Amino acid sequence: MTIVTDLMVGVRIEEAAKTAGAEVETVGSLEEGAERVRSRAVEVVVVDLAIAGLDLEAIVSLGRGAGARVIGFYPHVDAALRQAAKRAGIERAYPRSRFLRELPRILRESLEG
């Protein structure tokens, strides 16, 4: 599952997931993500850490509650956001440009465990 508000990024993640043999559902908010997690199995939660007002600890709680790994991406200029993600327990946080460039590999590794 991905929590992103940028439609183009969501599409890129969905395409990379299909290539990796996985299904992806994109949601635009934590609330919508929580609803999806309650109704289906989730292995990985991908989140755009730059979404305004995002509760990082709630994202981690949501992912862990579902038994999923949580990975995120952030604007490369926002080192404070990366640190906040790490403190909240986000397992992997990537600069947005690297995340998009290495997306197929990142998803494969995340799905493999």
- Quote the crossing angle between the two packed helices 79-88 and 56-65, to the nearest 10°: 40
Identify each DSSP E strand in 1-113 by its residue range: 2-3, 26-27, 44-48, 69-74, 92-95
Average pLDDT for residues 44-53, to the nearest whole number? 90
What integer pLDDT is reported at residue 96 of this predicted model? 93
Q: How far apart are CA 13 and CA 9, in angstroms?
A: 6
What integer pLDDT is reported at residue 113 of this predicted model? 65
At the fourth CATH level, the homologous superfamily of domain 2-112 is Response regulator (3.40.50.2300)
Q: How far apart are CA 18 and CA 34, in angstroms?
A: 22
What integer pLDDT is reported at residue 73 of this predicted model? 95
What integer pLDDT is reported at residue 54 of this predicted model? 87
Q: Between 84 and 35, whose confidence is greater?
A: 84
**pLDDT one-digit tens code per residue, 65-109:** 888 899 999 998 888 989 999 999 998 999 999 999 999 999 888
Instruction: For residue 94, give the nearest of 68, 72, 70 by alpha carbon.
Output: 72
Residue boundaries of the structural domains of the chain: 2-112
pTM, full prediction: 0.87
Going by pLDDT thresholds of 50, 70 and 90, the confidence category of residue 25 is confident
What integer pLDDT is reported at residue 111 of this predicted model? 80
Mean per-residue pLDDT of the chain? 88
In the chain, the percentage of residues whose pLDDT exceeds 70 is 99
